[in-house]
Homo-oligomer: A and B are copies of this chain.
Amino acid sequence: MPRGRRNGRGDTMEIEDILLEMKDTSELMVDLAYSALLYDNEEIARQVMELEGQVDSWDQEVQRKAVERAIEDRDVEKALVFIRLADSIENIADGAVLIADVVLRDIEPHPVVKAALKESDTTIVTVTVPGRSKLVGRTLGELKMASETGMWVIAIRRGERWIYGPDENTRVEERDLLVARGPVEGEGELRRLVKE
């Protein structure tokens, strides 16, 4: 469920907005963590680790704002619901981090990976868009990324922000980190396309 709710810095956001950001981020983290594990991809695992810091600081932000709001409106129960929700999402994020940690700490490929690959010839790829790429300024729809390369862009990291579940109208920018999933053969084609 991608949404257009990127409000920028946490301290100007409402509690509800932060919780929805946390929700999207934790879902992305779980997706990335499992992808990192199944495709034995350390780059993806590191992205999960970085996202954890963001979720942590949102968690604290929600706690602070919830207490501040309770002082104003004297509604203890509502504040506790906010705090409990943020902690639950933090819990999910922690699980994703633990999985990413297995990927980063382990030396040999996991037996789990082998089990998964038995049934799958898909892979996951991260690629940074260089400034001179023909992709810059064009939408994923215009680029026919999915139909041309078979690779599906599941997320884009833009600076410190993440775009979750980008769609055909999402425009590629310089230095975007694209996270894409698709057939093993698609990896080369995607890299070629990005470098053009």
Tell me which residues across on chain B come within 8 A of A3, comparing CB atoms: 119-120
> Is A85 part of the binding interface, using a Cβ–Cβ cutoff of 8 Å?
yes
Copy number in the complex reads 2
A-side interface mostly: helix
Complex alpha-carbon distance, A1 and B34, angstroms? 10
Collect the chain B residues with CB atoms within 8 Å of residue A91's CB: 91-92, 94-95, 98
Report A106-131 CB contacts with B as 1/0, cut-off 8 Å. 10001110111001101000000000
A23 contact set on B, CB distance < 8 A: 34
Q: Judge if A60 is at the interface, Cβ distance under 8 Å.
A: no
Taking the nearest CB of chain B, how far is it from the CB of A179, in angstroms? 14
Interface pairs (12), CB distance under 8 Å: A1-B122, A14-B115, A16-B116, A17-B115, A20-B112, A23-B34, A30-B30, A37-B85, A81-B110, A84-B102, A89-B99, A90-B95
